[in-house]
Amino acid sequence: MWTRLVFVSLFLAAVSACDPKPLYGVTYSPLALNTEDICLPVEQVRKDMEIIATMSHSVRIYNIGVCYDNAIAVMESAKENDMTVLMGLWMEANNTAVFENEFELLPEFMEKYGDIIEYVIVGNEPVFIELIDVYEVIDNYNRVKQFLADNGYPHESSVAEVWPVWETEEGFELAEALDFVCMNMQPYWEGFYAECPSNETECVPAGEYIHLKTQGLEDYFEKKVVLCEAGWPTEGEPCCSGSRDNAQDGFHAVPSLENASAFVSNFVEHARERQVKYYIHTSFDEEWKKVWDPCDECKGRQVSKFSEDECNGCQVDYNWGVYTYEREYKEGYELPEHLAQCSYT
């Protein structure tokens, strides 16, 4: 019991600390543009975390078992830099071994790094992309929640999903089981403006729209909502023509450095006013997806054959980073001013 009390004190200290950085949190996938190995070299992960530590208090990772050594490197670096971690456990369709591996690693990570783990997130959009039946998701989640409770860990847990799922019957059943709602939301895919034109009197910018939607879900579920993913692409095609579900007609959502900056500024301004936790997607461009998770029109192609002409529509998928995949800061991507003091719920 004494150990757990000390642990809780350390945990609360970690989540309440706030030194000057422009963002509360960012997402990070330590994955490689390499057909032989999906995992980045550990040394690269350590370098990446040094960059991430300059811009955020917290980092979100999506799994601990896919690239075990990299997950350890993230945790160690976060600890060294007084950061917290939004720790994910991965699930895959028709492959229960993936989640079992994640679950088996959970005791090790909680024992070693529980003082910096902010929340435990069980799956990333599994219902939305129809990876796994919602009841299997709930079963997996309940196993994690029970483990945390049985072993005296005070951490809250959730499943990351998009708002169209939360507003369905399945989403309601899922939310009922969770400690809080973990929401991924990218208004780019709904065709929202990053910054409203002066002649659009009824326009709501994308960043504010997320918070309006969040407040509605909080009121409905009577649970807090953590904004687990929100970002804006810097390259690719404008969205949308109405061909996507929930999308507005027109091409108002335009990828650019200016629009990414405007979105993040507006989004973070409202997050600070509401004192809510959030994670900007993402720290580095995700060109690894060209090999490991290509969009539909690029599936089956070799990475050496990719070109703008062949896969122009896919550029949006790869270019959501504050930094390029080569780890160069995108000149013109303006992050909000650093906060000297802050408080989050």
Give the pLDDT score at 343: 59
Give the pLDDT score at 311: 59
Angle between helices 96-113 and 134-150 (to 10 degrees): 30
Give the amino acid at 110: M
Are 288 and 31 spatial neighbours (Cβ–Cβ below 8 Å)?
A: yes
How do the domains of the chain map onto residue ranges? Answer: 2-285
* Tens of each residue's pLDDT in the chain, 345 residues: 334 444 444 444 444 444 579 999 999 999 999 888 999 999 999 999 999 999 999 999 999 999 999 999 999 999 999 999 999 999 988 889 999 999 999 999 999 999 999 999 999 999 998 878 999 999 999 999 999 999 999 999 999 999 999 999 999 999 999 999 999 999 999 999 999 998 888 899 999 999 999 999 999 999 999 999 999 999 988 998 766 777 888 889 999 999 999 999 999 999 999 999 999 999 999 999 888 888 776 766 655 555 555 555 577 889 999 999 999 999 999 999 865 445 566
Global pTM reads 0.91
Name the one residue in this structure whose structure tokens are 């006013």: 273
Which positions ≥6 away from 66 have C-beta within 8 Å? Answer: 38, 39, 90, 98
Give the pLDDT score at 93: 83
Are 268 and 206 spatial neighbours (Cβ–Cβ below 8 Å)?
A: no
Nearest to 24 by CA among 260, 295, 335: 335
Give the pLDDT score at 20: 77
Give the pLDDT score at 279: 98
CATH number of 2-285: 3.20.20.80
Residue 162 backbone phi and psi in degrees, to 5:
-90, 160
